């Protein structure tokens, strides 16, 4: 999201949290990326301790997720999102994520109404706000020069998500500082890791961090622009030499465990 869009989305989220807190009415938020979700969870929820938030993206691990806000009865929550499936003849072209996203935006759909896009050979799925589903079924018929077929609603469990390969790294680090853990996760020197941080290439839990001495905790996510993502999956005991055992999971590694 651009800065203006981020500010607008945060303001909208706070307005709906305020309404939920005052009236008890269930409110909903459109799709947000991990960074925006982290901002909302960190900056806003503490101001409205009587409110709860549920993030869902249609399947476990979805990157873009919509939210339900409630105060009293979560049983009444019905998150207004759905999944669409579509097909194309792979003999006439290959479609990538950007092709599908561009065609959806070309239909006049705003980004916040669109969740994840999942592609396979000749078929794909997208999670969208329920309010636009029928419009897309009637009007979305191409992506680039490729014709789309059989655009229809499906259950979320029909989405065929391929899990990213994971490389498991077990190592010891001198401390849980960002630069030390980053160096271990991406198997580079600590100096290189520090340069990445200072250059603004690193995010911790989807928020940019330029502090090399930032203390990390088990479960934290790290990402480096152009390099990928890793999670500090587990923090163990100290070794005899005073170093800390860690297990790191780096995503997207060829030949790694799926």
**Per-residue model confidence as pLDDT tens digits over 106-138:** 999 999 999 999 999 899 999 999 999 999 999
**225-248: average pLDDT:** 93
Q: Is the pLDDT of residue 187 over 80?
A: yes
CA distance 105 to 198: 35
Architecture per CATH, 81-158 = 2-Layer Sandwich (3.30)
32, 150, 180, 190, 199 from 39: Cα distances, Å: 10, 38, 25, 28, 22
Q: Is the pLDDT of residue 258 over 70?
A: no
Fold for 167-251, please state it.
3.10.290
**173-180: average pLDDT:** 96
In the DSSP assignment, the letter for residue 99 is H
Name the more confident of 258 and 191: 191
Instruction: Kindly report the pTM of this predicted structure.
Output: 0.77
Give the pLDDT score at 90.
Answer: 85
Q: What is the pLDDT of residues 25-69, one digit of tens each?
A: 999 999 999 889 988 988 899 899 999 999 999 999 899 999 999
Domain coordinates of the chain in residue numbers? 1-70, 81-158, 167-251
Would you say 114 and 103 are in contact if contact means Cβ atoms under 8 Å apart? no
Give the pLDDT score at 255.
Answer: 35
- On whether the 1-70 domain is CATH 3.30.1360.120, my answer is no
């Amino acid at each position: 999201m651009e800065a203006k869009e981020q500010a607008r989305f945060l303001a909208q989220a706070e307005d709906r949290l305020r309404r939920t807190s005052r009236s008890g009415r269930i409110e909903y938020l459109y799709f947000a990326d991990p960074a925006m979700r982290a901002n909302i969870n960190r900056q806003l929820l503490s101001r409205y301790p009587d409110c709860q938030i549920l993030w869902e993206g249609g399947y476990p691990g979805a990157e873009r997720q919509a939210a339900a806000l409630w105060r009293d009865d979560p049983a009444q929550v019905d998150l207004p999102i759905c999944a669409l499936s579509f097909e194309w003849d792979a003999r006439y072209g290959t479609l990538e994520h950007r092709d599908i996203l561009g065609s959806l935006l070309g239909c006049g759909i705003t980004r916040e109404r669109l969740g994840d896009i999942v592609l396979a050979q000749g078929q794909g799925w997208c999670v969208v706000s329920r309010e636009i589903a029928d419009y897309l079924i009637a009007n979305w018929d191409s992506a680039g020069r490729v014709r789309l077929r059989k655009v229809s609603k499906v259950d979320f469990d029909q989405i065929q998500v391929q899990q990213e390969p994971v490389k498991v790294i077990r190592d010891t680090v001198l401390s849980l500082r960002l630069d030390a853990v980053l160096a271990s996760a991406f198997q580079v020197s600590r100096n290189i890791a520090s340069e990445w941080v200072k250059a603004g290439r690193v995010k911790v839990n989807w928020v940019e961090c330029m502090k090399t001495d930032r203390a990390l905790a088990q479960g934290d996510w790290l990402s480096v622009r152009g390099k990928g993502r890793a999670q500090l999956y587990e923090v163990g005991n100290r070794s005899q030499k005073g170093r800390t055992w860690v297990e790191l999971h780096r995503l997207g590694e060829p030949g790694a465990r799926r």
